[in-house]
Amino acid sequence: MTVFPEALLTTGTFTEHDGIWVSYVGEDGDVVALGHHAPELVLAIINDNPLITWTADDIDTTWAVLTDPPAHDCVATPTVGCSGCDDTEGVPWWIQWGVERGTPGAFPVMVVEA
């Protein structure tokens, strides 16, 4: 049984659907499913939007790690803020996929990039 980082399962970002933990991440609407599953199971969960229909070819079966949210070198003024800082404010974790299986802390994921 694969053990996933507790932060992913306790922050309310991922929700469980028929035993598969799924989250929409990032501003583009990427989808991350924890674990490696049959593509049709993941597609049955995420193809609930009539405007977008993904196929098995859209799924990247890979490995991921948790990292700290990225730091931004910016100067915020009263009228202009850093959108990157706004994106990461209050985020307890950041996920980076596409790492090698043997990377310390790596766990299996399936990703659909919108």
Q: What is the pLDDT of residue 35?
A: 94
pLDDT of residue 51: 72
* Dihedral over alpha carbons 19, 24, 25, 26 (to 10 degrees): 170
Residues with pLDDT less than 70, the chain: 1, 49-50, 69-92
What's the pLDDT at 73?
A: 56
What pLDDT, on the 0 to 100 scale, is given for residue 30?
85
Residue 11's alpha-carbon distances to 5, 33, 38, 43, 93, in angstroms, are 11, 15, 26, 24, 9
Which pLDDT belongs to residue 111?
94
Report the pLDDT value the prediction gives residue 84, as an integer from 0 to 100: 52
The predicted model scores a pTM of 0.78
Q: Where are the alpha helices (DSSP H) in the chain?
A: 6-10, 39-46, 83-88
pLDDT at 4: 82
- Residue 91: strand, helix, or coil: coil
